[in-house]
Structures are given as structure tokens and as C-alpha cells.
A and B are shown apart, each in its own frame.
Chain A
Amino acid sequence: TQLLEQSPQFLSIQEGENLTVYCNSSSVFSSLQWYRQEPGEGPVLLVTVVTGGEVKKLKRLTFQFGDARKDSSLHITAAQPGDTGLYLCAGQETSGSRLTFGEGTQLTVNP
């Protein structure tokens, strides 16, 4: 099983600040997905990146897939309290449909 390390594990910032969450592995993934989970709910897919070096933007969120398809980052600009939640990266293994999840980053944005 391929492993994904996500950092930081916890992040508490003030509204308006910028932040970056990292997802790293020594293994190559065929794609990488980012999910957000709110308390009492299941994870919700935010984005999928497939090509090495790919950058996708979703409003104030910018997702990047590393050139070697081993790592990814999520950057949030001007964070808002509504961004609070658990952010999970998940790599799709090259061998099939299995997703390996990172340990998650619990983000709290204080007003």
C-alpha cells in the first residue's frame, strides 16, 4: 500500500490569512484528489489532479500536483471562517481503484 503524509495536521489561523497544506509520498499516483469533510458528514470531493505539474483553481483554492506525481499542495488565499474543516488528500494507486488517504489537516479559520 502506498503512503501519503499530510502536513500540517492542525492549522488555526485568522480570517484573511493565506495557508498551504502539503501532501507528500515516495510513491507515484495516477491521480490525486482533495476532499473536505465537515463534522458529522462524509468527505466531499473538491478537485482531482491527474497530470504532473497540473494546477487547478477553485475560487480562492489552488491545487497543484507535483511534476513527478508524488506530491500535491492546497493553497488557500484570504481564508474565511467557512473554509473551516478537515482537508484530506487521497492518491489513486497506479494499480487500480484503491485510494490512499492522507491523515488530514484540521483547519480552523477564526473570524
Chain B
Amino acid sequence: DTAVSQTPKYLVTQMGNDKSIKCEQNLGHDTMYWYKQDSKKFLKIMFSYNNKELIINETVPNRFSPKSPDKAHLNLHINSLELGDSAVYFCASSQTWTSGGYEQYFGPGTRLTVT
């Protein structure tokens, strides 16, 4: 069974277009995340939702808008795509521990290429 799934796996689009990436987790976790991994493999957090509430909102362009319809889903919509948006986008989820641990489970990634 897939724990964290993302669609699509690959996304090739032109500058100026609007696109969405979907993420679902079946682990019963209460927190979900979006990360961007650049060409140097640096993984940077973009957003985090806990029980459908936005709790982390990094400094990303407001062309990026996350939406969490329920605890198991976190989608990422990107407007007016730019060349610099090309990267691999990872969804992840974790469960809040009372001890404070946040071990994260990652999806397989969506490779976005903007031409």
C-alpha cells in the first residue's frame, strides 16, 4: 500500500500556465507538508498543514497556494509558472507525538519542468 502518493510524477508545462499537484496520505497522520528540492538537492520546506490548518508558510511567491480539503489531502496550485519554478516537489506527512517527534514520510516527488 502506498503511504504518501503524489500526482503527477512528471509535469512539463510552459511559462505562464497554471498547474496543480495532488498529494494523499493513508497513514492517518495529522500534519502534511510541501517541500521544494532544487537542482543541488537542497530540500526546503514551503508549507505545512496540521488538521487542515496552515501552520508553516515560508517565504514563497504568492503564486503558490496550498489547499487541504481534509487531513489526508494536501494539494499545491501554482499560478503563472516561471522558469525558476522548475524543481522536484515533495509532499510529506507526519504524526504529532506528545514527545514532540515529527518523523516525516515523503511521497515519490513531482518533477516540474517549466519551458
Interface residues in A, total, Cβ within 8 A: 25
Q: Looking at the assembled complex, report how far the CB atom of A82 sits from the nearest CB atom of chain B, in whole angstroms.
A: 20
User: Contact residues of A with B, CB < 8 Å?
Assistant: 30-31, 33, 35, 37, 40-45, 48, 50, 86, 88, 90, 92, 96-99, 101, 103-104, 106
B44 nearest in chain A by CB position = A101
Pairs of residues from A and B, 9 with the lowest C-beta to C-beta distance, nearest first: A42-B106, A101-B43, A97-B102, A104-B41, A43-B106, A42-B90, A42-B107, A42-B108, A45-B103
Interface residues in B, total, Cβ within 8 A: 27
- Find chain A residues with CB under 8 A from B99 CB: 50
Please report whether the interface of chain A is mostly helix, strand, loop or mixed according to DSSP: strand
User: Contact residues of B with A, CB < 8 Å?
Assistant: 4, 31, 40-45, 48, 50, 55-56, 90, 92, 94, 96, 99-109
A40, A43, A88, A104, most chain B CB atoms within 10 A: A43
- Bound: A108/B80 CA distance, A: 38
Whether the pair A40, B44 counts as a contact (CB closer than 8 A) is no
Known: A31-B100, A42-B90. A98 touches B106 (CB 8 A): no
Q: Looking at the assembled complex, report how far the CB atom of B74 sits from the nearest CB atom of chain A, in whole angstroms.
A: 14
